[in-house]
Amino acid sequence: MAVQLELSQMLVDSLTFENQIVGLNKAGRPIFEPTPPGTVEWIVRDGGKRGQSGLLLRITSGAVTWCVRRKMGGKSTRRAMGRARKADDFTGRVLTLDEARKRARAWLVSMEENIDPLLVREDHLKQTKLATEHRRLTMAVAFADFIEAKRKHKAKLGEEGRLEVGVGKRRTADPKLRDSSTADRIKVQRWLDGSPMWQVPVGHLNEEVVSDSLTPLLKRASGGQPKITWGPKSVSKGTLDKIYRHLDGAWWRAAKILKLGVGRDEGPLRLWRQNHESDWPADRLVHKALDTSSPDHIQWLKALLDMQRAAHDPAVFTARISPRSRAIKPHLSVLVDFYLLLILWGTRATETQLLEWSQVDLAKRLIWLSEDTTKNAALDVVPLTPWAAEILQERKRLNELWRPDAPGRYVFPSREHGHPISSPRGVLVALAEKTGIALTAHDLRRSLAREIGSDDDLMHTARLLVSGAALHHGAGKGGSRVAGATHRYLEEKANILRPLYQKRENRLRELVGLQVEKPKAELDVEAVLDRMRGDPNFFQQVMQTVLRSKS
């Protein structure tokens, strides 16, 4: 049974579990005896003139704790309020005797009204934490958290459900190269640093503050020149879209964390956008591409091939020329081959730069594009045509000639050992100076979308799409990935598109005066239609590639 006495701070500080209070002497002072073996706890109740009825001091081998006890909901209930003394494993705040008596009075009143004080305290702590988070979570902090969350999400996607790439192990992206979306978010973060909204808490962000930050950028995109000391050097429609999209994503993520309870169209960024929709710059169609109907562009392509012939001279790889020399160096052949294959495949620059030999399947004539590098983070495939295969085989031989001891895993190695090429614009700059035609890597990709087969060829592919639609094939969760994608489906898709790639490759070779391979047998459309009727996922594979080539 617990002993009751008027506690003092000195007594509280001196109590030990090993010496239990068993009673009081005639002078009212505590009597101590060794704590019996097997005892888990012993209790002292506060009493006396200054004591607080219902306040207990619980002593265990690991802690001395303040508690209160009274009836709640018809039964006697004990609730712990906090530590009375620090322990070796406890660094938090402790309650003094006076503080414990004050808190006990409030808790006992709550318990008398059948309100659990622990739940009240938990709600208070949540509200305090939320208020602290509201103050901490400025737009700058929210955007930094947004970048990291998206980066981790992409990494998680890369680790889950991966198919083995090509004929080797799955690739690992070079750490020096970020994915394009993360790079865009980092740009936006840099541009908005110093803007009026940047240090405003997310919960306090309103349309007026958003307008102070984004309206000047909107005016710049429309041709105006407001005076601001932050933001990008120039603002195009694409830049404005990028800033708005990532800012809005960061705000909504933070709003969800803070439980702001804002409706879908009530966020401050969306309200501002709605009020400026009529002022938003219109989409500008980009027509620039490698135009093989233009004699000037054909000369550009011939100049690229001339550069390839010079760079592939074996002497370039065996002479060991000084880095300071102006002579052709091995790295040039890597860059030239890179751009030739961009033209033939229509792939994006990053996914091609990071291509590894394990992704090249010469036997099945396929190039596998890793989930680590594709824009939609999904495995994809490109049919490998003869000219492209010839370039790759020569590339492998030259890589081994360049670095016989360590040719590396990348198809397009950098001058820095063990890394892929990262910024291969030098060739395009040299070609622009020589021919007067300035093209980008994306311009070369765009040319494939314009030239991929004749009207008859595309009608064959269209028939596949219509047939698939008639079978009501699903597009998978979210519509962005192919349902049930496997290597077999992807290979089938590549084989359907192979004649289109082959026909275009032959045309390019003919334009630059190279020998053209004899046409293969036409695609058996009816056989493919039968294949689709028996396999509902097949249509989605074809549709994904056709849409991807147009994006």
* Sole residue written with tokens 């700059």: 429
DSSP-assigned beta bridge partners for residue 356: 410
Give residue 500's pLDDT band: very low, low, confident or very high (50, 70, 90): confident
31: phi then psi, degrees, rounded to nearest 5: -105, 125
Give residue 532's pLDDT band: very low, low, confident or very high (50, 70, 90): low
CA–CA dist 267, 243 (Å, integer): 16
Residues 438-457: pLDDT tens digits?
A: 999 888 988 887 787 555 55
- Determine contact, residues 143/192, Cβ cutoff 8 Å: yes
Biggest CA pair distance of the chain = 118
Give the count of alpha carbons within 13 A of 74, CB side only.
0
CA–CA dist 540, 482 (Å, integer): 6
Q: Which residue has the higher pLDDT, 436 or 548?
A: 436
pLDDT of residue 367: 93
Q: Which residue has the higher pLDDT, 132 or 414?
A: 414
485 pLDDT more than 70: no
381 closest CA partner among 392, 372, 368: 368
Would you tell me how many other CB atoms lie within 10 Å of the CB of residue 269? 21
CA–CA dist 139, 193 (Å, integer): 10
Percent of the chain at pLDDT exceeding 90: 42
CA–CA dist 60, 1 (Å, integer): 15
Token pair of 46 as six digits? 């506060």
DSSP-assigned beta bridge partners for residue 30: 24
Where exactly are the structural domains of the chain? 3-123, 137-279, 295-447, 453-550
- Determine contact, residues 435/294, Cβ cutoff 8 Å: no
In 3-state terms, what secondary structure has residue 196? Answer: coil
317 closest CA partner among 422, 391, 400: 400
Q: Please, is 280 exposed, middle or buried when counting C-beta atoms within 10 Å of its C-beta (0-12, 13-18, 19+)?
A: middle
CA–CA dist 398, 329 (Å, integer): 12
* CATH fold group of domain 295-447: hpI Integrase; Chain A (1.10.443)
Query: What's this model's pTM, rounded to 2 decimal places?
Result: 0.55
pLDDT of residue 330: 86
Kindly give, in sequence order, each residue whose CB lies less than 8 Å from that of residue 80, ignoring residues fewer than 6 positions away: 58, 65, 66, 67
pLDDT of residue 37: 93
- C-alpha to C-alpha distances, 432 to 109, 171, 344, 439, 440, nearest whole angstrom: 84, 34, 20, 7, 10
345 closest CA partner among 436, 411, 286: 411
Kindly give, in sequence order, each residue whose CB lies less than 8 Å from that of residue 475, ignoring residues fewer than 6 positions away: 481, 482, 483, 540
Residues 50-88: pLDDT tens digits?
A: 899 999 999 999 899 999 999 888 888 999 998 998 765
CA–CA dist 49, 379 (Å, integer): 78
Residues 170-225: pLDDT tens digits?
A: 444 444 444 678 888 999 999 999 999 999 988 889 999 999 999 999 999 888 88
The length of the chain in residues reads 551
List helix spans (H) across 2-47. 9-14
Token pair of 394 as six digits? 């020569």
Give, to the nearest 10 degrees, the angle between helix 525-534 and helix 538-550: 120
CA–CA dist 307, 340 (Å, integer): 11
